[in-house]
Amino acid sequence: MTDATVLIVDDETGFVETMAKRLEKRNMTVLKAFDGEAAMRVLADNPGVQVVILDMKMPGKDGLVVLQEIKEAHPLVEVIMLTGHATVPSAVEGMQFGAFDYLMKPCGFDELNQKILEAVELKEQHEGEALEARLGNIAQRMI
């Protein structure tokens, strides 16, 4: 339904593969990473990524650390965090670092799909506002 480009970051490879297949069926372009380091490389190589699905608990870099790196290097990318009970406090903290929202694991496909669509919509709205502001500035200078 949408041509969104998303990156799924989770150390549970089965979860990543299943969700990726299902999102691709909805016409999304899905990139995958199984840890934070790989996620940052994929983002650097693919400026078209709009939304990142980010697991909180992964070996190596913690999800909360990866979230901060993403928001610093790619502030316009929306991040949806995936959290278990143990990492809910991290996910709540993540909202303060600019995450779009978080989903409790195990999360269903429909829930994830819906949340991605909301994130894409917000991102497009932000980009529209930024463009309007730029056009407004240009118009001001021309008067």
Q: How many residues bind Mg ion (CB under 5 A)?
A: 4
- Nearer residue to Mg ion within complex by CB, 4 or 54: 54
**Number of neighbouring beta carbons within 10 Å of residue 51:** 24
Q: Which is nearer to Mg ion, 4 or 91 (CB)?
A: 91
Tell me if 5 sits within 8 A of 41, measured CB to CB: no
**Residue 11 in the binding site for Mg ion (CB under 5 A):** yes
Taking contact as CB under 5 A, which single stretch among the options 1-9, 28-36, 49-57, 102-110 is the one that binds Mg ion? Answer: 49-57
Strand ranges inside the chain, DSSP E: 5-9, 29-33, 51-55, 78-83, 101-104
- Asked whether position 35 contacts Mg ion by CB under 5 A, the answer is no
Task: In angstroms, give the least distance from the CB of 15 to Mg ion.
Answer: 9
CB-based contact 37:44 (threshold 8 Å)? no
The set of residues, in sequence order, having a beta carbon less than 8 Å from that of 48 and lying 6+ positions away, is 5, 29
Asked if 55 is part of the footprint of Mg ion (rule: CB under 5 A), the reply reads: yes
Interface contacts to Mg ion, rule CB under 5 A: 11, 55, 57-58
